[in-house]
Amino acid sequence: MQRVLNKAFFDRPTLDVARDLIGKQLCRRLESGKIIRARICGTEAYDGFEDRASHASKGATTRNVVMFGPPGRAYIYLCYGVHWLFNITTREKGYPAAVLIRAVEGVAGPGRLTKHFQISSSFNDQLLTRVGGLWVEDVDGEVSPTRIVATPRVGVNYAGAEWAAMPWRFVWEKQE
């Protein structure tokens, strides 16, 4: 049995969590009892009040209040009225930060990922645990830091050139 990542893993600087999630395993138990697992290959960090690309840059709202809560919780929101996107909160309560899970092995794109894992708003503000049906596991075989590439985030041009260019997207570049 793999070790489930707990609150302490997520109660750290957001960029560290985003990088360290690469290679971990996202897990979802479906209503049928079947468990879907896939290793995380892409993440994006959204960190604090200053981050103009973050939903929290203008303060707490009904939509983003989960980002201000404790670490290790699901922050789920609807993007473009079509796709649910799955984030995990980081850092201490009161500091708005989260990591968007962008891709897992075999599934690229945060909207496709939530469809594959059947993740919807019902998970919003839920602690990531086996009991809750959505969690992240540590797995054997760490990803070499030389295989993790930092790039600018995707689709955040609205935040201005400086924030759009932040290399806060992490991608696992695997050898074929």
Where are any strands of DSSP class E within the chain? 25-29, 35-47, 74-79, 83-89, 97-104, 107-108, 134-137, 148-151, 169-172
Q: Other CB atoms closer than 10 Å to residue 109's CB: what's the count? A: 15
d(CA 147, CA 122): 34
Distances in Å between the Cα of 87 and the Cα atoms of 4, 52, 56, 140, 161 are: 17, 17, 13, 23, 23
Return the pLDDT at 38. Answer: 96
For the stretch 109-141, pLDDT in tens is 999 999 999 999 999 999 999 999 999 999 877
Query: Which pair of structure tokens corresponds to residue 134?
Result: 């959505």
Structural domains in the chain, CATH included, are: 7-172 (3.10.300.10)
Residue 94 makes CB contacts below 8 A (sequence gap 6+) with 68
Task: Give the pLDDT mean for 97-111.
Answer: 96
What is the model's pTM?
A: 0.94
Please state which of the ranges 32-36, 141-145, 155-159 shows the lowest mean pLDDT: 141-145
- The residues that bridge with 99 in the sheet, in sequence order, are 45, 88
Helix, strand, coil distribution of the chain in percent, nearest 5: 25, 30, 45
pLDDT-derived band at 145 (thresholds 50, 70, 90) equals confident
Query: Which pair of structure tokens corresponds to residue 115?
Result: 């469809």
For the stretch 16-52, pLDDT in tens is 999 999 999 999 999 999 999 999 999 999 999 999 8
Continuous H helices in the chain: 7-10, 14-20, 110-117, 161-164
d(CA 97, CA 30): 28
| Residues in the chain, overall count | 176
52, 159 in Cβ contact below 8 A?
Answer: yes
